[in-house]
Amino acid sequence: MRYNAGELITAMITPFNEDLTIDYPSLKRLINHLIETGTDAILVAGTTGETPTLSHEEEAELFKFVKETVNGRIKVIMGAGSNSTQTATESSIKAQKAGADAILTVVPYYNKPSQKGMYEHFAAIAKSVDIPIILYNIPGRTGVNMQPATIAKLAKEFKNIVAVKQSNSDLDLISEIKSQCPDDFTIYSGDDSLTLPMMSLGAHGVISVASHVQGKEIKEMITAFKKGQNEKALQMHLKLYPLFRKLFMAPNPVPVKAALAKLGIIKEYVRKPLVVLDAEEKKELNEVLNKYSYFN
Please give the positions annotated as active site. Answer: 136, 165
- Asked whether 88 and 56 are in contact (CB, 8 A), the reply is no
Given CA atoms 276, 33, 93, 128 in this order, what sign does their dihedral have?
Answer: negative
166 with 152: CB under 8 angstroms? no
Report d(CA 127, CA 106) in Å as an integer.
Answer: 16
> What are the φ and ψ backbone dihedral angles of 243, each rounded to 5 degrees?
-65, -45
Terminal CA-CA length for the chain: 43
Which among 138, 25, 44 is positioned nearest to 94, based on CA atoms? 44
In this structure, the chain runs to a length of: 296
Helix H or strand E segment including 77:
strand 75-79
CA distance 28 to 168: 32
